[in-house]
Amino acid sequence: MRLRRYEYNPILKPKPENYWESVNVFNPSVVYDHGLFHLLYRAMGADGISRIGYAVSTDGFNFFRFDKPVFTPKRILEPRGCEDPRVVKIENSYYMTYTAYSEKGMRIGLASTDNFINWQRHEFEWPEMNNKNATLFPEKIDGKYVLLHRPMDKEPMGIWIAYSDNLTEWYGQREIMAPRGKETWESRKIGAGAPPIRTDKGWLLIYHGVDEDEVYRLGAAIFCLDDPSKLLYRYPEPILEPETYYELRGEVPRVVFACGACEVRNKYYIYYGGADRVICVATIDTEEILGEDISIPTC
């Protein structure tokens, strides 16, 4: 099972005339709503600061992008940048988790919007530790908000879960999926990629895995709908790995890194950064990734 790259990748490249995205555009998230693909992406200019850009599309491939960033760093909270957005729609609001980068390290940031242009930051109480790859589930589960994240000070670096009643205070943190053993494609570390997608077989999670040679690949796993801490199935092989020139050469070579995926007309669209330089998309039919030949236990 492999993702199919769009033949005209990359779909977005750095834009030299825009100072804030003149060097790199990468690690996009997506929400499909009311017939539109809303893309939020990480962008960098010559100053090395990450900002969040916005683009919109009717077909998922051809995007109109805004000339100004829609989310910029706050001097006190994240003076070194806002990185790797992951966006979900919960009820009537869009929530974006992102990596807030400062001199103290990396922490989880949270903001919300109803139009993708104007954003409100939210208080996010969290232990003092480096943390990233945070994404919310797109709905409450058993009345709770659920978050996936990856503490960077824990070994091995795996995927953790946390719960909240109010999106501010979090509890129940524990690891739910660890890297595989040595000499595998995900031996060094793993992290949540796109926000989980609800399916008939469970929550589908597209995640990234990193090997000892620092090659980033994409994998897939399925978690229980009622108890998302329970791993039901883990695809044995990567579903996408660096192979093309735009994935092998860039700011960071040999990287495919997804922060967004959506289901539209029985097909999954997975949006990813290629070599930390450009934005790409790949697709797969839902029946292919959730085929009947996959044996998934009940929760």
Q: Provide the residue-wise pLDDT of the chain in tens; the chain has 299 residues.
A: 799 999 999 999 999 999 999 999 999 999 999 999 999 999 999 999 999 999 999 999 999 999 999 999 998 889 999 999 999 999 999 999 999 999 889 999 999 999 999 999 998 888 778 999 999 999 999 999 999 999 998 888 999 999 999 999 999 999 999 999 888 999 999 999 999 999 999 999 999 999 999 999 999 999 999 999 999 999 999 999 999 999 999 999 999 999 999 999 999 999 999 999 999 999 999 999 887 567 788 88
pLDDT of 156: 86
Q: Which of 65, 72, 64 has the alpha carbon at shortest distance from 47? A: 72
- Contacts for 19 with CB less than 8 Å, ≥ 6 apart: 45, 46, 47
Distance of CA 171 to CAs 119, 130, 141, 145, Å? 26, 17, 14, 11
Decide: helix, strand or coil at residue 94.
strand
**Which residue segments constitute the domains of the chain, with CATH numbers given?**
4-289 (2.115.10.20)
Decide: helix, strand or coil at residue 246.
helix
